Amino acid sequence: MKFQRQAKILDLIDRFEIETQEDLTAHLRALGYNTTQATISRDIKELRLIKTLSSETGKYKYTSSNAGAADSFTTRLRNIFRECVTDIDAAQNMVVIKTLPGLGQAAAMAIDAMRAPDVVGTLGGDDTVFAVMRDNDSAQKFCTQARDILK
């Protein structure tokens, strides 16, 4: 549940300008997550979220830290990937990744954060990720690497 909630937090701060923990809690509750302020506070710390000035509104909003915690952030996303992926397979230059329900977008975000050079793009659904690779060999190589992460 923790990984799913944290993946949703990353998705929410990417899609919305969330200014406060209360705003984040409200968004999560609207999605069916019954959380407390203390839990959100711990999640923010573990995900190493920071507040930055929004160029659109001029207010501060939560964002993922890119500077000093980039490695930690990527490690966290790899953990999310490891916890939510149930199956992975390639078909020519495409890779289909099956996840636990509700975690497809989190897995897609983890793949994007890994910055694999042969990944052209990802599309995350509820429980499936579709990744387009540069060629057939890249798809097979990616599946092998992804399976290694899952071990």
Bigger pLDDT: 90 or 11? 90
- Same structural domain for residues 94 and 47? no
Q: Which residue has the higher pLDDT, 129 or 150?
A: 129
User: What pLDDT sits at residue 63?
Assistant: 87
In a domain, 21, yes or no: yes
State residue 105's pLDDT score: 87
Q: pLDDT at position 87, please?
A: 93
Looking at the structure of the chain, the number of domains it has is: 2
Please tell me the predicted confidence (pLDDT) of residue 77. Answer: 65
Question: What's the confidence (pLDDT) of residue 74?
Answer: 60
**Residue 99 belongs to some domain of the structure:** yes
Q: What is the pLDDT of residues 99-146, one digit of tens each?
A: 999 989 888 888 887 777 889 999 999 999 999 999 999 999 989 888
Please check whether residues 12 and 61 belong to one and the same domain.
Answer: yes
Flag whether pLDDT at 76 surpasses 70: no
Across the range 69-98, mean pLDDT stands at 80
- 101 in the same domain as 44: no
Same domain as 91, residue 58: no
Contact 99, 87 (CB under 8 A): no
Q: Is residue 77 part of a domain?
A: no
Domain that holds residue 99: 85-150
Residue 31 lies in a domain: yes
Among 37, 65, 93, the domain boundary falls at 65
Is 60 found in the same domain as 95? Answer: no
Q: Is 73 a member of any domain?
A: no
pLDDT digits (tens, 9 = 90+) for 7-43: 889 889 988 999 999 999 999 999 999 999 899 999 9
Whichever domain contains 48, its CATH number is 1.10.10.10
More confident call, 30 vs 69:
30
pLDDT reported for residue 68: 41
Does 104 lie in the same domain as 50?
A: no
Statement to judge: residues 90 and 38 lie in one domain: no
For residue 128, what is the domain's CATH number? Answer: 3.30.1360.40
The number of beta carbons lying within 10 Å of the beta carbon of residue 135 is 12
pTM above 0.85, yes or no: no
* Crossing angle of the two packed helices 2-15 and 104-114, in degrees rounded to 10: 70
Residue 127 is assigned to a structural domain of this protein? yes
Is residue 75 situated within a structural domain? no
